[in-house]
Amino acid sequence: MADYVLYTSESIPRPQRKLHRSIRVFLVILAGIGVGELLYQFTIAPKLLVESVIIKSDAPIPKGEILRISQLQGPVPYHKVHTLTLKKKLETVSWVRSAKVEKVFPNKVMITLETRKPIGIALMETDVSTQLFAFDEDLNLFIPQEGEWDASLPVFTGIRIEGATEGVKFPFVLARMIRTIVETRLEESGILNCFSEFRIIKKGEDAYELIAYPIKYPVPVRMGQQFSTETFKSALMVLDVMQKEHLLDKVEEIDFRTGNILYRMRGGTIAGR
């Protein structure tokens, strides 16, 4: 005669029953979350619109332009605003240094911008044209907002960069020269503001010279890569003396590249003082 063994719940070990129960509870919760997500995506989310866009910045900015770039004009579904994508899009704007985008449920977007601060202006020669740019303290080229060009900033000319320009930094050696002038201007604004233009002359792969154009005097001053505030002071003193001696109309250029002061007379003759 065969023996039959009947298994009941009592025959299943207690720890195993608890595991089965936990799995069922987890599956129920997971299914509830899935249903809730579906309900939100198809019934609630489409009805939630961005009703408030708060834009903060460390400088006055065209908020209408920011809204246009962000595509937040008019009714925009809240769930379609992707903060990381919007941040990257805003940081492609030339004068924006950094952007932070936050969503505040259920209908608010907050945008915080840090703008680039121009410390100089550069007339750049490219493959196709000559363009005017500003550059910030990191020596990144950018186009300021309309109407934000500062005529009191030092102007640099003669710079050529191949290819793209916006967001590009100056080459190291050139950057060091430009930074020296900018820092000198901060220390002695009265001296550097006596010059209207600083022309960069490339003399080799990593060598540059500087020609400074005084505002008051019609004679440019040529300098090497090494110069200081004292160099500019000396140049102005020499120009003032030569003007008093009625010599400037005969001089084409003053040369401060060596220890001796040389000046090129009109016609090519070189003399010294």
**Claim to verify: residue 183 and residue 241 sit in the same structural domain:** yes
Name the residue range of residue 185's domain: 120-272
pLDDT tens for 169-205 read 777 778 888 888 888 888 887 888 899 999 999 887 7
Burial status of residue 173 (CB atoms within 10 A of its CB: 0-12, 13-18, 19 or more): middle
* Pair of tokens at residue 265: 């007379």
Which of 73, 95, 115 represents a domain boundary (last residue)? 115
Rounded mean pLDDT of 37-47? 54
Q: pTM value?
A: 0.73
**Claim to verify: residue 166 and residue 78 sit in the same structural domain:** no
Answer whether residue 3 is part of any domain: no
**Claim to verify: residue 83 and residue 138 sit in the same structural domain:** no
Answer whether residue 31 is part of any domain: no
Answer whether residue 36 is part of any domain: no
Which has the higher per-residue pLDDT, 219 or 148? 219
**Claim to verify: residue 106 and residue 124 sit in the same structural domain:** no
Query: CATH number for the domain including 59?
Result: 3.10.20.310
Which has the higher per-residue pLDDT, 7 or 191? 191
User: What's the confidence (pLDDT) of residue 185?
Assistant: 81
**Claim to verify: residue 160 and residue 257 sit in the same structural domain:** yes
What 8-state DSSP symbol labels residue 170? P
Rounded mean pLDDT of 29-37? 63
Kindly report the number of other CB atoms within 10 A of residue 272's CB atom: 9
**Claim to verify: residue 169 and residue 256 sit in the same structural domain:** yes
Q: In whole angstroms, what is the distance from residue 200 CA to residue 222 CA?
A: 10
- What total number of domains does the chain contain? 2
User: What's the confidence (pLDDT) of residue 6?
Assistant: 47
Burial status of residue 87 (CB atoms within 10 A of its CB: 0-12, 13-18, 19 or more): middle
**Claim to verify: residue 100 and residue 141 sit in the same structural domain:** no
Answer whether residue 54 is part of any domain: yes
Q: pLDDT band for 51, please (50, 70, 90 cuts).
A: confident
